[in-house]
């Protein structure tokens, strides 16, 4: 038997080890799947980002092309064909290249726009500039095909060559040095040196030199269009254009969303500035008076001092080095002419101010970025948000409400953490099972959060701040607390025996009782009789609903057995009699007469409920006094005194009920 038991234990250990290994394998598989899913999602996100950005780049390039090629529209946004003829020519060229050679239109439009701007800015007429930009664009494709180089790289080299940079274009086998340009001038029969040419003329001569020296490349892309190298270029171009078209869908979505995102971010920035100003901080980076920036400026000043010391050392070293230079080693700068006391003149007769010709200074023009004509949608959204938050007028109404929501979330989070820790401890001790631990933790979180939110909302309503936010805060708080009580009841044996409807009665009954007490106390504090009566009635009725849910009795029976805050009625009565005595007997009689009339207006059922409340309180008070005497927490004299008072309250309430019944009959 011992051997059998030993073998069984060994088998159990092996099975336990196998089970652990299987669990590890399952966990490893889950981790691998999760990692693979994350990788796929990340790859998909990057693809969407790339095609969206390619579409955005296409939009920006199209705008550059339209401006460079001279597109003109009327006030209704329609194309002015008469003034946009060169733009239309350029677009026709782009469409033809795209159709025949499968080009990337975004890339090609960018190159042509750059070439056109280069010549137009030197005073070359629009027609010639547009024509030259077409020829250079075609030349770039053919040279790239012949040299088997990247099209963008060849276009950049051509651009550099036209501007006079000889090194980069020499990599294409083209020489645009002054000697080559002189040769081009001689072949054209122009008896002028390069130095005598204007800058625009030099750029045209460079174009002619490039065309002459690269003539072997003309038509190479068309001749070798079907070769693998060029077909791969076409394939890349088509993929790029596919991404641009696909990205346009996402651009349309983002184009509608981004103004709102930017507006919200702008509003958050302004809110942070407003909050910082309340605490004496200045977060405006353009200000020099903020406490935060002042410390930064001090640091910069310290750094500047250090830099000054280092500069002094460098100057001393420079003087030592200068002693070692010979006369021909020194660089002699030509000083610009300065204005004399009596005024001076430069070659054109203009005055000189600080070494700059006055004609140049007088010709300076402001750069008009049309900033005053724009009203961004994001800015409009920001202003609406700030107005709604109350930041603009300084009231901060809705901002305070949002802060209350944050506080409520904080209460929920903190309650969950604390209650979860306590219930986990009780679960580990074996006092609670897993389900009970969760129900109690979850219930406490909902209950305390609900009480907090209900209190805040009710306080706002009592203060006259009646709006949708206050109403929703109160309703959601009450509902949250009620559901929390339901969750707590589910964790108990007694609660499990109750139906869901009765649990909800208990939950909402307790929450509304708490609210009634809050209204009652606020009415007593402010001396508002209406609030006091409403609070007392809400407490009585809500507590009756609670008892009805707990014990399943009829509502009328529950009312008879409900403990209410009848002491509040005593306070009201006492306060009323004090005021009556202070203001004289006649005022007292008027008050009593008005009270009788008011009592006659109160339904008999409500008066019976009040009488029952007093009866129950008197009975419970008598029981409490005798119980304390039995526990020796009170002496006989005090206990008997309270007993007599309690019996008197009960008899008064009983008489009141009888009177109500007789009057109703």
pLDDT, tens digit, for every residue of 476-513? 999 999 999 999 999 988 888 889 999 999 999 999 99
Instruction: Please check the confidence at residue 352 and state whether its pLDDT lies above 60.
Output: no
Neighbouring residues of 265: CB distance < 8 A, sequence distance ≥ 6? none
pLDDT band per the 50, 70, 90 thresholds, residue 619: low
Look at residues 539, 535, 538, 537 and name the one whose alpha carbon lies nearest to residue 526: 535
Q: Is 368 helix (H, G, I), strand (E, B) or coil?
A: coil
As a whole number of angstroms, the distance between CA 187 and CA 197 comes to: 16
Q: What is the pLDDT of residue 628?
A: 58
As a whole number of angstroms, the distance between CA 18 and CA 580 comes to: 89
pLDDT band per the 50, 70, 90 thresholds, residue 632: low
- The answer to which of 245-254, 292-301, 410-419 has the lowest mean pLDDT is 292-301
- With tokens 């006989």, the residue in question is 636
**Which of the two residues, 310 and 269, has the higher pLDDT score?**
269
Q: Report phi then psi at 353, rounded to 5.
A: -125, 110
Q: Report phi then psi at 247, rounded to 5.
A: -65, -20
Instruction: Please check the confidence at residue 575 and state whether its pLDDT lies above 70.
Output: no
- With tokens 């929703």, the residue in question is 472
pLDDT band per the 50, 70, 90 thresholds, residue 21: low
Instruction: Please check the confidence at residue 36 and state whether its pLDDT lies above 60.
Output: yes
Q: What is the pLDDT of residue 569?
A: 44
Neighbouring C-beta atoms of residue 481, cutoff 10 Å:
27
Q: How many Cα atoms are found within 13 Å in the side-chain-facing hemisphere of 611?
A: 19
Provide the β-strand partners of residue 363. none
- With tokens 């029981």, the residue in question is 623
pLDDT band per the 50, 70, 90 thresholds, residue 286: low
Taking only the tens place, the pLDDT of each residue in 66-114 is 999 989 988 788 888 888 999 999 999 999 999 988 888 889 999 999 9
Beta strands in 204-363 (DSSP E): 352-353, 356-357
Query: Angle 567-582/604-630 helices, nearest 10 degrees?
Result: 110
Asked if 219 and 147 touch (Cβ cutoff 8 Å), the reply is no
633-638: Cβ within 8 A, 24+ apart: none
- The overall average pLDDT reported for the chain is 75
Asked if 508 and 538 touch (Cβ cutoff 8 Å), the reply is no
Q: Is 353 helix (H, G, I), strand (E, B) or coil?
A: strand
Q: What is the pLDDT of residue 512?
A: 94
Q: What is the DSSP-derived secondary structure letter of residue 349?
A: S
Instruction: Please check the confidence at residue 28 and state whether its pLDDT lies above 90.
Output: no
Q: What is the pLDDT of residue 321?
A: 43
As a whole number of angstroms, the distance between CA 616 and CA 155 comes to: 98
Question: What do you get for the CA distance between the two ends of the chain, in Å?
Answer: 90
């Amino acid at each position: 038997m011992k051997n059998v038991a030993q073998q069984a234990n060994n088998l159990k250990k092996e099975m336990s080890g196998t089970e652990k290994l299987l669990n590890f394998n399952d966990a490893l598989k889950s981790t691998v799947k999760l990692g693979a899913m994350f990788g796929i999602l990340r790859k998909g996100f990057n693809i969407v980002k790339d095609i969206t950005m390619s579409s955005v780049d296409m939009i920006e390039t199209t705008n550059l092309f339209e401006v460079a090629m001279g597109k003109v529209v009327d006030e209704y946004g329609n194309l002015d064909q008469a003034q946009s003829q060169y733009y239309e020519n350029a677009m026709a060229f782009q469409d033809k290249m795209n159709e025949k050679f499968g080009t990337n239109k975004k890339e090609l439009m960018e190159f042509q726009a750059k070439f056109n701007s280069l010549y137009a800015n030197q005073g070359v007429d629009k027609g010639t500039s547009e024509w030259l930009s077409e020829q250079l664009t075609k030349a770039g494709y053919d040279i790239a095909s012949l040299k088997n180089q990247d099209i963008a790289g060849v276009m950049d080299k051509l651009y550099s060559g036209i501007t006079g940079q000889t090194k980069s274009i020499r990599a294409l086998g083209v020489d645009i040095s002054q000697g080559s340009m002189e040769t081009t001038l001689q072949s054209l029969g122009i008896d002028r040196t390069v130095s005598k040419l204007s800058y625009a003329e030099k750029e045209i001569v460079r174009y002619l030199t490039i065309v002459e020296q690269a003539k072997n490349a003309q038509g190479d892309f068309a001749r070798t269009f079907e070769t693998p190298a060029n077909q791969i270029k076409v394939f890349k171009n088509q993929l790029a254009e596919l991404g641009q078209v696909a990205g346009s869908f996402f651009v349309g979505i983002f184009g509608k969303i981004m103004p709102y995102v930017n507006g919200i971010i702008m509003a958050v920035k302004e809110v942070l500035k407003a909050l910082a100003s309340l605490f004496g901080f200045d977060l405006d980076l353009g200000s020099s008076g903020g406490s935060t920036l002042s410390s930064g400026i001090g640091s910069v000043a310290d750094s500047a001092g250090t830099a000054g010391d280092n500069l002094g050392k460098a100057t001393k070293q420079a003087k030592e080095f200068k002693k070692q230079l010979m006369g021909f080693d020194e660089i002699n700068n030509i000083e610009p002419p300065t204005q004399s006391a009596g005024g001076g003149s430069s070659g054109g007769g203009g005055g000189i101010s600080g070494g700059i010709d006055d004609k140049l200074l007088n010709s300076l023009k402001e750069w008009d970025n049309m900033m005053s004509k724009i009203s961004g949608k994001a800015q409009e959204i920001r202003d609406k948000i700030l107005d709604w938050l109350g930041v603009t007028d300084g009231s901060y109404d809705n901002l305070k409400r949002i802060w209350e929501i944050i506080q409520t979330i904080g209460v929920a989070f903190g309650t969950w953490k604390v209650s979860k820790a306590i219930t986990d401890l009780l679960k580990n001790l074996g006092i609670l099972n897993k389900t009970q631990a969760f129900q109690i933790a979850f219930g406490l979180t909902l209950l305390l959060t609900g009480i907090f939110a209900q209190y805040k909302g009710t306080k706002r309503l009592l203060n006259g701040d009646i709006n949708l936010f206050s109403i929703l805060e109160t309703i959601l708080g009450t509902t949250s607390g009620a559901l929390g009580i339901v969750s707590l009841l589910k964790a108990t044996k007694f609660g499990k025996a109750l139906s869901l409807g009765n649990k909800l009665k208990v939950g909402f009954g307790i929450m509304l009782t708490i609210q009634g007490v809050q209204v009652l106390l606020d009415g007593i504090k402010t001396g508002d009789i209406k609030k006091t009566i409403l609070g007392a009635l809400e407490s009585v009725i809500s507590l009756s609903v609670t008892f009805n849910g707990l014990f399943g009795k009829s509502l009328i029976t529950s009312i008879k057995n409900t403990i209410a805050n009848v002491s509040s009625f005593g306070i009201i009565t006492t306060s009323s009699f004090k005021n009556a005595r202070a203001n004289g007997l006649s005022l007292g009689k008027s008050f009593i007469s008005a009270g009788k009339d008011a009592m006659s207006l109160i339904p008999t059922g409500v008066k019976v409920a009040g009488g029952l409340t007093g009866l129950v309180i008197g009975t419970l008070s008598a029981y409490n006094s005798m119980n304390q005497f039995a526990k020796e927490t009170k002496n006989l004299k005090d206990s008997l005194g309270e007993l007599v008072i309690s019996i008197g309250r009960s008899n008064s309430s009983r008489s009141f009920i009888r009177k109500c019944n007789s009057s109703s009959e």
